[in-house]
Amino acid sequence: MGEHLEGVPNLLPYEIIARFPLGYFLKSIAVRSNGTLLVTNMIVGQIFYVDPRHNDPESTIQLIRNFNTAEAPPEDDEETGIYGSKNHAEAIIEHPKIADLFYAFSGVHGKADTWAVYSLDFRSFNPSHGAATTVVEKLANIPGAGWLNGATMIPETSTLLMAES
């Protein structure tokens, strides 16, 4: 358990499942019905799959979705820096009645008219075939939104409630 900074108490027991490279901003975690995880790397707009049940969970990390093109490196502009120059991957929420159907949103931090809501269908997902077995669909643009930063499904409905920061 010696992972905390010196002098910071370990208030609850924890276990490290996997390590990502320095510079990753892991923000949202969704637990699938089978116990595997979906994790967002917010600032560069990525969603990863991890199987914590595997004897080497780190070896199971797979990039499932990249909301930016791999060829386009992050640009640093004077106004926003790298934080506001790429599509983010924000919130990942499971449909309350349909296991393995998730919603996420992506857009450029602080830039209106760049945000959209996506569905991520993992019902046919096969880890040995990776992202190719995940169906990602853009559901709607969110005009005027500057930073969609959280979401929940309203119980007993199919309504997705989103928060803007």
**75-100 pLDDT tens trace:** 445 555 555 578 889 889 999 989 99
Count of other CB atoms within 10 angstroms of residue 85: 19
Q: What is the pLDDT of residue 157?
A: 87
d(CA 14, CA 51) in angstroms, rounded, equals: 17
Contacts (Cβ under 8 Å, ≥6 apart) of 7: none
Q: What is the pLDDT of residue 44?
A: 87
Give how far Cα 79 sits from Cα of 67, 75, 85, 109, 156, Å: 22, 11, 9, 12, 42
Closest alpha carbon to 132 in 63, 68, 67: 63
Count of other CB atoms within 10 angstroms of residue 107: 24
Q: What is the pLDDT of residue 70?
A: 44
- pTM for the model stands at 0.84
Q: What is the pLDDT of residue 13?
A: 83
pLDDT at 1 over 70: no
**21-77 pLDDT tens trace:** 988 999 999 999 999 999 999 888 999 999 999 999 999 999 999 998 644 444 445
Coil, strand, or helix at residue 81? helix
**Rg for the chain (alpha carbons), in Å?**
17
Amino acid at position 66, single letter:
N
Residue 131, classified by CB atoms within 10 Å of its CB into exposed (0-12), middle (13-18) or buried (19+), is middle
Mean pLDDT is lowest, of 13-17, 29-33, 119-123, for: 13-17
Coil, strand, or helix at residue 130? helix
d(CA 26, CA 153) in angstroms, rounded, equals: 21
Closest alpha carbon to 134 in 163, 92, 85: 92
Domain boundaries, the chain: 26-164
Q: What is the assigned CATH class of domain 26-164?
A: mainly beta
Question: How much is the average pLDDT of 100-129?
Answer: 93
Local confidence band at 158 (pLDDT 50, 70, 90 cut-offs): confident
Question: How much is the average pLDDT of 113-134?
Answer: 93
pLDDT at 2 over 70: no
